[in-house]
Structure 1
């Protein structure tokens, strides 16, 4: 048993006995409360400018309303998969500090202590794919439109915000039903405002180390208080706040608490949106995704930019997006692993191949967007199990098609592969060397006649045919080869990413980024773990 796993079981035992705050397993103290995560997403960079990095905050909200700031790196390591615990009750073990040290105590383990039922995981002993607490049924959101006391502009009128929740094609009610396979809906969601904030923008957005910083707590408290007499928050499961001025250059999504509905600490999913965010449904859906507990996805170019995977609205919401005359950039679907996180992929639609399974089989992989599919929509491949199960790498395969109201401007029809590692982050696989800055290239799309090997050589995937509902795959052990893997041949003619979209128009692409590391350039020409081989 790994040290982290053993410590986690010790915490569970202590909590079960009701001995919170007691010393155990070498921990100085154990605290319980609500885990709240906040993601900050920057505005699109102007042409020629470098996009700012994302921001991330983590807090434990204790039962008395006090908040404990958590070091994100320590929290990720201590939880294994921190994101599945968003908006849930957890116990955190803090380690003892050496005498004379005044810094915050180290985080040793974070475990859930709520009683949410977990859906059947797409996993086996050697193929871990964690699922968060299920999100099902009605998820009622309310929009609060709030004006800074020194800014009079009202960019959009109330009917615009009310219509965002509609069930028509291109509206949020329709989008979340479709992307969740009808597992959730936004019934009862509505908008209210504009409400006047009691303070100017400078009260809520201050400078810290030369950078703007929005006080998210004050914004929620004052915007919520202004709306409280007019809004019934009793059955609300999420609050989208719209502000009539820029915040700190970011839109934010996650969870927060404020005194509402006569309660000192009303906690729920929350988003904070400046005008550039609420004028486009893609960033608004992205922030709502954070509210549901979804983290960012990424591509495999190895740089520090998480917004370069246009196969998932939780990464690059702007590239390959369908444009709407009313609601701006529409959100694309989320990748299949993100869907699985929230228990939206039925067990019958999942297929897991564990390490050591050397059987050759044919898999009908249906398009991920199809509701009512009767074939596999999420294929999971595992690599070698690790002592820490959260360090075990798995690959997920899904089929995507460039069609429909949301995916109509994707780069093409293809099998898309994601590597899931490091706290449950999904990285799209790119067979090009070096990997592209944005994964809407041919190297990220696996098509008929192409073959892909897992880095350990445990599984070989061949795309054998395209059908009306997806792709046929041949899955089996890698063939024995006496010579090095052949180079990938570049396709002739125009790539799918340069072909015109069949539905809508494509939104402007994100600015190019320069990789800081090369995942596919291991010393001596060997393949690194993050690199895959594609053959034609």
Structure 2
């Protein structure tokens, strides 16, 4: 995904308003089509590769499944802009307004707006500031999953037995039931999740995985239909929110997660779904990653600007493998997701969030507790807004969270630190790196902000100082940046200063800090995905 394009001129959050918006912006409203159906998002993730070897690019598909069973492929870039937050609409009924004939932006139909149908209201049109609130669909309560173990008719291997797959859902340390409770602050559980199989598919692997333009392509819909249909009627497929499918052979070089519909037992079955080859289901981390996609979570990334989205070890939805805890039974354990991903699913309670508006000129101390603490009474998600609008998430936000290297899933993190992510228009979360150039993987010191270090937004609107460390996190001083006209201090590392660096006052010694410090160094780093500079950091050594 490249830098976001300019947002559409109008965006609605009810079907009636969507029609009015389209009529006001289209030269021929009668030529515009408005379609309703289920929004399906599918992510394809390749296996890990040896160091120095190239990794396959991730896959992402977006489509609208209409009531008559036909599917309209959506341009992912347009869909992200038209929906506000596309990911919270996954597996929900939406209305899509397509541009009139002649307004073509790609080989797929041009999209002007995507709105959630289940939030249609007859009240006055909602303002843009309320758009994300209206779109939000919390994932909460019992989210029961069913595992179906399916083997191709020409492959006899059964890599794991039924007891293994059933135990993956357990509530013990390192099992999925325990993991999702902890990550969601007990907002969700997997109670009642079960495993079934192995079932033999009606066809060989070659029927489901074909060659298209010289590359393997898995027919995800057929795999879902045949695997679900292979299960006997005694297996309840309607009550669970999701189905984890385990296949005994490689698919198209990817594991997949998202949503799908199929005709099963004579009825339409629409579920959150994962498609897992052996390398995926043998490790809990990639399986949790795909389940995250099933819940609608996108990838995260770091800020090195390359096309590899799997290089942010602070989020299992990016790098599942690095800085992870091993398990003798379940392979690589999943790390937590970053705080914005938790927020996306409405798992961060309002008292645990604090937003600093763009125009806020107050300097204050904020206690930021570690993100993993379920019983925290302090802030766990600090948001620095760059939006001049009433909606703080309308343009760019920087989210700050505290992470600690301890516990069942976080025990191998790179360190204890404040981690900063940039999020633009509720899209991908990019971890900020103060090193120049940014590291290929954000488990470096440049991505960890510790006591005595400061960071400033590139717009010079917010300045954050990590003032002290507490038993439960960190104390941050947050306020407007004070730019000085004096030259930079003479003692600087030459490779750490960008030509446009600003001289800022040196940070005050943090309480309890005893190490010697040199003058402050300002670092401006290039943004992820080839965007303009996204962060300036002031670090003291």
Matched with 2:177 is 173
Q: Count residues in correspondence.
A: 495
Matched with 1:474 is 477
Select which of 81, 85, 88 maps to 1:84.
Answer: 88
Within 5 A, what are the aligned runs for 1:385-534? 385=388, 392-483=395-486, 520=525, 528-534=532-538
1:532 & 1:102 partners in 2: Cα distance? Answer: 36
Matched with 1:369 is 372
More deviation, 183-192/5-14: 5-14
The answer on 1:348 being equivalent to 2:351 is yes
More deviation, 243-252/385-394: 385-394
Within 5 A, what are the aligned runs for 1:235-314? 235-260=239-264, 262-263=266-267, 265-314=268-317
Offset at residue 126 of structure 1 (A):
12
Unaligned runs of 5+ in 1: 118-123, 492-517
Unaligned runs of 5+ in 2: 1-5, 122-127, 497-522
Which secondary structure state, in structure 2, belongs to the residue aligned with residue 221 of structure 1? helix
| Aligned partners of 1:35 and 1:58 also within 8 Å | yes
The answer on 1:43 being equivalent to 2:18 is no
2:301 & 2:134 partners in 1: Cα distance? Answer: 18
Residues 78 and 488 (structure 1 numbering): CA distance in 2 closer, same or farther, change over 3 Å? farther
Offset at residue 128 of structure 1 (A):
7.8
Select which of 144, 148, 158 maps to 1:154.
Answer: 158
| Aligned partners of 1:127 and 1:382 also within 8 Å | no
Select which of 218, 223, 243 maps to 1:219.
Answer: 223
Residues 98 and 357 (structure 1 numbering): CA distance in 2 closer, same or farther, change over 3 Å? closer
Residues 23 and 282 (structure 1 numbering): CA distance in 2 closer, same or farther, change over 3 Å? farther
Residues 420 and 101 (structure 1 numbering): CA distance in 2 closer, same or farther, change over 3 Å? closer
Cα RMSD after superposing both structures: 3.1
Offset at residue 10 of structure 1 (A):
8.1
Residues 528 and 115 (structure 1 numbering): CA distance in 2 closer, same or farther, change over 3 Å? closer
TM-score (norm 1): 0.86
More deviation, 477-486/80-89: 477-486
2:130 & 2:87 partners in 1: Cα distance? Answer: 21
| Aligned partners of 1:80 and 1:390 also within 8 Å | no
| Aligned partners of 2:48 and 2:55 also within 8 Å | yes
More deviation, 43-52/197-206: 43-52
Matched with 2:199 is 195
For residues 360-401 of structure 1, the C-alpha deviation after alignment (integer angstroms, 9 at most, x for no partner) is 111000000001100000000011437998761100000000
For residues 202-238 of structure 1, the C-alpha deviation after alignment (integer angstroms, 9 at most, x for no partner) is 1000011111110000100000000142311131100
Offset at residue 50 of structure 1 (A):
0.3
Within 5 A, what are the aligned runs for 1:309-320? 309-320=312-323
| Aligned partners of 1:126 and 1:384 also within 8 Å | no
Which secondary structure state, in structure 2, belongs to the residue aligned with residue 4 of structure 1? coil
Higher relative contact order (CA 8 A, sep 6+): 1
